[in-house]
Amino acid sequence: MHYKFTIIVPVYNEEENLERVEQELLAYTKIATFPTKIMFVNDGSKDGSQLLIENICERHSNFSYIAFKENRGLSAAIKAGFDYAETELVGYIDSDLQTAPSDFNLLLEYIGDYDLVTGVRANRKDSFVKNMSSKIANGIRRTFTHDGMDDTGCPLKVIKTEYAKRIPMFKGLHRFLPAMILLQHGKVIQVPVQHFPRVAGTAKFGLWNRLLGPLMDCFAYLWMKKKYINYTVAKQSK
């Protein structure tokens, strides 16, 4: 089968969620807009996640994985997924499944005209503190990047792979994916998606990760924007 879309699933100590991840992503592949592959990126999990991932991939030919030697963070996991993807389109979803795989079809409706389509979580089911810290962090980030996005932390995105592979990722930059596509003169759009409470496992981000860390990352983004190399090839030998 010729696959067109790869969904990256970063995993860090999510053994309690992986059976549900398998079921829901397998169900999605049967209704997906395009033939779809699933790629787990195990970010140095210390629980039983790796064994579960290997068993899942043995059961399904369109599921694969890469496993880090040690924990390197969400941005590194997403970057590795971009690096190893071989399909025309790439997306990602968190393994906590607080967003619905079926909503990828909503995003894919727009990918022909845009280079990145990101979800924006409607009626978020998180705590007051988490919601408010994310809202503040998004406001700060918009002030720095002018990307026009309301919820760049939404773990449901689709990107044209040629753009994704050119993103110079660093730790924390997963929040700046729309801005990094804009640096490539790409087009971005946000689309409302469903959001659900976490039902298993524990959240990996605290107040520092959601608020103070992103503020520091904004200065890194400004440095990168100033130094970013962008070019267009006018002609090439045959």
Full residue range of the structural domain in which residue 17 is found: 5-227
With a CB cutoff of 8 Å and minimum separation 6, the contacts of 129 are 207
Model confidence band, residue 213 (pLDDT cutoffs 50, 70, 90): low
Measure CA of the first residue to CA of the last residue in the chain; give whole Å.
Answer: 31
Distance (Å, rounded) from C-alpha 10 to C-alpha 92?
8
Which of 44, 40, 54 has the alpha carbon at shortest distance from 12?
44
- Is 235 within a domain? no
What is the tally of structural domains in the chain? 1
Express each pLDDT in 79-127 by its tens digit. 999 999 999 999 999 999 999 999 999 999 999 999 999 999 876 655 5
- At 60, the amino acid letter reads H
Model confidence band, residue 169 (pLDDT cutoffs 50, 70, 90): confident
Q: What 8-state DSSP symbol labels residue 201?
A: S
pLDDT at 236: 87
pLDDT at 172: 77
Is 88 in contact with 159 (CB distance < 8 Å)? no
Distance (Å, rounded) from C-alpha 2 to C-alpha 81?
19
Distance (Å, rounded) from C-alpha 158 to C-alpha 109?
10
Express each pLDDT in 125-166 by its tens digit. 555 445 555 666 666 666 666 677 778 778 899 999 999 999
Is 178 in contact with 188 (CB distance < 8 Å)? yes
- Is 238 within a domain? no
CATH code for the domain of 161: 3.90.550.10
- Is 233 within a domain? no
pLDDT at 136: 60
pLDDT beyond 60 at 203: no
> What's the average model confidence in pLDDT over 203-215?
58
- Is 40 within a domain? yes
Distance (Å, rounded) from C-alpha 153 to C-alpha 210?
9
Give CA angle at 104 (180, 64), nearest 5°. 85
- Is 162 within a domain? yes
Distance (Å, rounded) from C-alpha 137 to C-alpha 179?
15
Model confidence band, residue 202 (pLDDT cutoffs 50, 70, 90): low
Model confidence band, residue 43 (pLDDT cutoffs 50, 70, 90): very high
Q: Is the pTM of this model over 0.85?
A: no
Distance (Å, rounded) from C-alpha 214 to C-alpha 45?
24
- Is 56 within a domain? yes
Is 91 in contact with 159 (CB distance < 8 Å)? yes
